[in-house]
Amino acid sequence: MLQEDVSPNSDKDRGAAAATSFKSLFCCPLCPEPETVLFHTDSRREYRHCGVCDLVFVPARFHLSADEEKSRYDLHENDPHDPRYRRFLTPAAAAVTAHIHAGSRGLDYGCGPGPALAQMLAARGYDMALYDPFYHDDPAALRRTYDFITCTETFEHFNNPAVEWRRLVDMLTPGGALIVMTQLRRPERDFGVWRYKDDDTHVAFWSERVFEFLAGRENMSVELFARGVLLLRRRS
């Protein structure tokens, strides 16, 4: 009697593997919803939209390598003593000082080479730690818990937002807060002319609805503190 070929090289297995690979190309990197739709294309990349969580993302095949990514960041002029840069970060600092008492332990996640926000908050009495995969790669910082975590101009760079999100939430103490600063995608804006998408290191584009989805899933509260600044808090 003929037996079905169950070896890894069978046509059936190759077809299943190809179907899985095809599906993974279009799977949302946050939810992960397997069905996403093409949202926009330009001369360099594709952008897909998840109808479940509302994330717009660049598929992984268009991402820069780690070396290419760092070379772009090395061009940024984020001098922690530059008054213009500090003014830019003031809304995120204000979200901390308005909701979290001095002396609390905080983490500046994705702080870059010039951790201006951490310095600003340390000067106000907060106990600050730093983490950045390129400039402050301190694994010990990821094994602690924090009363609050700041992520300024970081979420749009997440190649794997589901992993990053889980890491951040798990590092918060009960009642802890996550302060996110990123340009939000607004439904009324023409995505095609939005300059924020043109940075090759920007691969995830968040809306208020995305954060509301995540907050609901995690039993967190969410508040739009200022334009582009959100505060999410774990319930005690």
Token readout for 25 is 């190309």
Is the pLDDT score of 55 beyond 60? Answer: yes
Domain boundaries, given as residue ranges, for the chain: 64-234
CATH topology of domain 64-234: Rossmann fold (3.40.50)
Q: Which of residues 148 and 23 earns the better pLDDT score?
A: 148
pTM: 0.89
Residue type, 70: K
Per residue in 210-222, pLDDT (tens digit) is 999 999 999 999 9
> Which band of pLDDT confidence, cut at 50, 70 and 90, is reported for residue 15?
very low
pLDDT of residue 11: 52
**178 vs 108: CA distance, rounded Å:** 10
Per residue in 118-144, pLDDT (tens digit) is 999 999 999 999 999 999 999 999 999
- Alpha-carbon distances of 206 from 27, 155, 210, rounded to whole Å: 16, 8, 6
